[in-house]
Amino acid sequence: MMSRVKVLPSGKTFNVGLHETILEAALRENIALPYGCRDGACGACKGRVVEGDVAQDGFQERALSAAERAQGMALFCCARPCGDVTIEVREVAGAGDIQVKTLPCRVEKIDRVHDVAILRLKLPVSERLQFKAGQYIDILMRDGKARSFSIANPPHEEGFIELHIRHQPGGSFSEYVFGRMQEKEILRFKGPLGSFFLRDDSDKPLILLASGTGFAPIKAMVEHAFHHGGNRPMILYWGARTLADLYMAEVAAGWQASRPDFTFIPVLSEPLAEDRWIGRSGFVHQAVLDDFDDLSGYEVYACGAPVMVEAAHASFTGTRKLPADAFFSDAFFLSKDATPLTV
């Protein structure tokens, strides 16, 4: 039995199969609803059910609170319609024009820097992968599971994909990358995915907020903006525990040295004595709060640890007056087989 879903304010409609979620069906029909983790954890696909009912389970309370559910909010990655429904959600301009593909790739290069592996994956000569700066891919593992990683290179650098993979003790894929992966191996992936990407239809100054390997999609965004000659002022706040965890600090410092419209502010939460750190310390989102009383004229792109993304959203849109539709984010959640680490 099919259900019919109408999307407001666009008025687009699509059918949802018996065992499909609203998001799955929308993506199948190239209707670009916002989304991130597709697992009920990040809240990126949140919207309002205006008419009808949905059943949803498997989500995390912090992504959709009881108060929000009482107000008719739903996570469309977990929501299945109970008959025809009308939903209200902001669609993502331009995202539906890009084809999601499943492709092979060859491991061309592995650079292990501290506890991060920088992979360069070569695409087949006959294939071209279109994506937007900030999107991610799913690496398809032999056991049928998938692991999501942001694309760290900009779209104009064709023919390969760069990934930044942090070593997570107990994580099956990251353990493999750090222990057994060899150059010339063949992998398979699906992508591009996600609605976290740089919007090109604005001239507002940008605040880029990253923790850990959340730097990867931010790197793609910055290099994309530089390539297209944009002059929007950009400030990158990159948070990590120690100096070594800023595994590409020299890249960001190079951007600052060569671009008058770019500023790099590293922030360490647990600097070591040997770091001899004299820079900013503490939580990375707090550094933004310390620097800005009013964010109403900015756009913010935040990527990394969920606790950082959530704290930034709450404080920026609250006390710092950032419009809710000017905050774009991608929270990195650990795979279920990984041992949690302090980020």
Instruction: Measure the CA dihedral 26/29/35/37, to 10°.
Output: 100
- Same domain for 38 and 155? no
Q: Please check whether residue 27 lies inside any domain of the structure.
A: yes
Mean pLDDT of the chain: 91
Q: What is the pLDDT of residues 248-269, one digit of tens each?
A: 999 999 999 999 999 999 999 9
- In this predicted structure, the answer to whether residue 111 has a pLDDT above a threshold of 90 is yes
CATH at 80:
3.10.20.30
CA quadruple 51, 52, 57, 63: dihedral, nearest 10: 0
pLDDT of 94: 65
Domain count within the chain = 3
Q: Is residue 9 part of a domain?
A: yes
Residue 326 and residue 213 share a domain: yes
In terms of domains, do 243 and 302 share one?
Answer: yes
- Three-state DSSP at 252 gives helix
Position with higher pLDDT, 182 vs 39: 182
pLDDT of residue 341: 37
In tens, the pLDDT along 48-73 reads 999 999 998 888 888 888 889 999 99
Farthest-apart Cα atoms in the chain, separation: 64
Distance CA 183, CA 44 (A): 35
- Residues 83, 117: one domain? no
Looking at the chain, the whole-number percentage of residues with pLDDT higher than 90 is 74
State percent of the chain over pLDDT 70: 96
Lowest model confidence (mean pLDDT) among 135-139, 171-175, 233-237: 171-175
343 falls within a domain = no
How sure is the predictor about 335, in pLDDT bands with cuts at 50, 70 and 90? low
Q: What is the pLDDT of residue 95?
A: 63
Which range is most confident: 136-150, 195-209, 232-246, 324-338?
232-246
* Residue 54 shares a structural domain with residue 127: no
- 52 & 136 share domain: no
Distance CA 251, CA 256 (A): 9
Select from 46, 65, 88 the last residue of a domain. Answer: 88
On whether both 316 and 246 belong to a single domain, the answer is: yes
Q: What is the mean pLDDT of residues 143-162?
A: 94
Last residue of a domain, one of 57, 88, 119: 88
In a domain, 274, yes or no: yes
Containing structural domain, residue 56? 3-88
Position 51 scores a pLDDT of 94
229 or 308, which is more confident = 308
The answer to whether residues 108 and 154 belong to one domain is: yes
Backbone torsions φ then ψ of 75, nearest 5 degrees: -100, 115
Is there a single domain that holds both residue 72 and residue 119?
no
Is residue 273 in a domain?
Answer: yes
Q: Are residues 252 and 299 in the same domain?
A: yes
In this prediction, residues 7-12 reach a mean pLDDT of: 92
Report yes or no on 185 lying in a domain. Answer: yes
What is the predicted pLDDT for the residue at 336?
47
User: Following DSSP, what letter does each residue of 137-185 receive, concatenated?
Assistant: EEEEPTTS-EEEEE--S-TTSTTEEEEEEE--TT-HHHHHHHHT--TT-
Residue 337 reports pLDDT greater than 80: no
CATH code at position 211: 3.40.50.80
Check pLDDT > 80 for residue 339: no
Q: Which of 88, 120, 149 is the last residue of a domain?
A: 88
| Residues 219 and 189 placed together within one structural domain of the fold | no
In a domain, 340, yes or no: no
pLDDT at 35: 86
CA 272 – CA 182 distance, rounded (Å): 33
Higher pLDDT, 142 or 233: 233
Q: Quick one: 56 and 106 in the same domain?
A: no
199 within domain boundaries: no
The CATH number covering residue 121 comes to: 2.40.30.10
Backbone torsion region of residue 62, taken as left when φ is above 0, otherwise alpha when ψ lies between -120 and 50, otherwise beta: alpha
